[in-house]
Amino acid sequence: MTDEPPENIVVIGSGGHGREIAEVCLAVARAEPGRVHLVGVIDDGPRAGDLARLISAGIAYLGTVAAWPWSSYACSFVVGVSDPTARRRIANSLVAHSRPATLVHPDATLGSQVALGPGCVVFAGARLSTTVRLGAHVHLYHNVTVGSDAVVDDFTTVCSAATVGSGTHTGAGVMVGAGAVVLDQRRVGDGSTVAAAACVVGDVPPDTVVTGVPATARSPKHSLRATS
């Protein structure tokens, strides 16, 4: 406990990704009493099923971004949207109102000299080696492994159980699919997608979708990245 009041946090997005991030926030609050307080979830168009799931989890639905009293309620935000492009758009629209919060689940482990940008979320089971650098609003799902000296740039999402190797550079706005592997020292260009279960053995150019083992480029770029 500290004398400081807890950091009030709102999560933007009531879909599965947003609710998982709300749970990360609650886990941090349990592990470090007084550090954070989950105020609730904001969503401009919540689905009925997602609202019901919020209610059953005891998490408050706070209304829309426009209706939330940003200027009179001191809080920071996390964008609970997995798609990197949408997350960037929402985060950029909020910078005038609030500041991003960074959340690390207590069951994640971070090596020495790990730098996390504002808005980063690290889910349970993620393992970050030494001297890792994550940019702003990077999301690492459950059981992701990031090797030593890796750099992951702003607004990238790494899905569950993916491995991003040592010395890799993953660009901005990248989606690394579930269970994918980026071998050591490789580069993944901005805006690219590494498909679920792909193995990246060479550098990936920007705005490219790669699939398979070894990963090869698909063209043109597929639009779907993830569902929530």
Ligand X SMILES: CC(C)(COP(=O)(O)OP(=O)(O)OC[C@H]1O[C@@H](n2cnc3c(N)ncnc32)[C@H](O)[C@@H]1OP(=O)(O)O)[C@@H](O)C(=O)NCCC(=O)NCCS
Q: Are 201 and 217 in contact (CB under 8 A)?
A: no
Minimal distance, residue 193 CB to ligand X, in Å: 5
Beta-carbon count within 10 A of 6 CB: 16
- Kindly report each contact of residues 185-194 with a partner whose C-beta sits within 8 Å and lies 24 or more positions away, as own/partner: 190/153, 191/84, 193/221, 193/222, 193/225, 194/162
Q: How many other β-carbons are positioned within 10 Å of the β-carbon of residue 1?
A: 8
Residue nearer to ligand X on the CB measure, 129 or 193: 193
Residue 160 binding ligand X, by CB under 6 A: yes
211 binds ligand X (CB under 6 A): yes
Closest to 53 measured CA to CA, from 29, 100, 18: 18
Give me 182's structure tokens.
């980026």
By CB under 6 A, residue 222 contacts ligand X: yes
Site string for ligand X, 189-208 (x = CB under 6 A): ----x-xxx-----------
For ligand X, which residue of 75, 78, 91, 226 counts as binding (CB under 6 A)? Answer: 226
177 binds ligand X (CB under 6 A): yes
Q: Is 99 in the site for ligand X (CB under 6 A)?
A: no
Q: Residue 131, interface with ligand X (CB under 6 A)?
A: no
Pair 197, 177: CB distance under 8 Å: yes
Is residue 209 within the footprint of ligand X (CB under 6 A)? yes
159 binds ligand X (CB under 6 A): yes
| Binding of residue 161 to ligand X (CB under 6 A) | no
Quote the DSSP letter at residue 94: H
* Residue number with CB closer to ligand X (66 or 224): 224
Number of residues that bind ligand X (CB under 6 A): 17
Distances (CA, A) of 190 to 70, 193, 209: 32, 9, 11
CA-nearest of 116, 118, 119, 114 to 132 is 114
Task: Identify any residues that bridge with 99 across adjacent strands, giving them in sequence order.
Answer: 76
Q: Which of 175, 183, 188, 200 binds ligand X (CB under 6 A)?
A: 175
Which residues of the chain form contacts with ligand X (CB under 6 A)?
A: 141, 159-160, 175, 177-178, 193, 195-197, 209, 211-212, 222, 224-226
